[in-house]
Amino acid sequence: MRARTVFRSVFRLVAPALMVIAAHSALAGEPKKGRQKAVKCQVCHGYDGVGKNPEVPHIAGESTVYLDKQLKAFRSGTRKHLQMSIIARDLSDEDIADLAAYYAAIKIRVEVPKF
């Protein structure tokens, strides 16, 4: 009986970590492939992930989880945008993971102004 109690205690501690690892590996795209796939994205978001129009968000350095979630929302129609809904509808899960990995891998710097 004691072994069963110890196992349950360990499982309760380890299970959440395993779920995070599994979720992360499901999102683990390849930045090199994402860079190649980002050609369509460059018109608005730029090669560097910095929006070229005030209406276009910067996506450089965003988390893979956020980018993955947003692209899937555009693809499913849960989130709507005239251009993004069209672009995202043909993306596979692999495409989305690769694009998210590429844009998340872009390093950005923040410089706080000195007053």
Residue 83: CB atoms within 10 A of its CB come to: 11
pLDDT for 74 equals 98
The pair of structure tokens assigned to 108 is 């950005």
User: Token match 């730029």: residue?
Assistant: 46
pLDDT for 12 equals 72
- Spatial neighbors of 43 by CB under 8 A, at least 6 apart, are 52
Q: Are 79 and 42 in contact, with CB atoms under 8 Å apart?
A: no
What is the block-wise mean pLDDT of the chain (115 residues), using blocks of 10 residues?
63 58 62 96 93 94 97 97 95 98 95 94
- Alpha carbons 59 and 84: distance in angstroms, whole number: 13
Q: Are 40 and 89 in contact, with CB atoms under 8 Å apart?
A: no
- Alpha carbons 45 and 64: distance in angstroms, whole number: 16
* Ordered structural domains, the chain, with CATH: 2-105 (1.10.760.10)
pLDDT for 34 equals 97
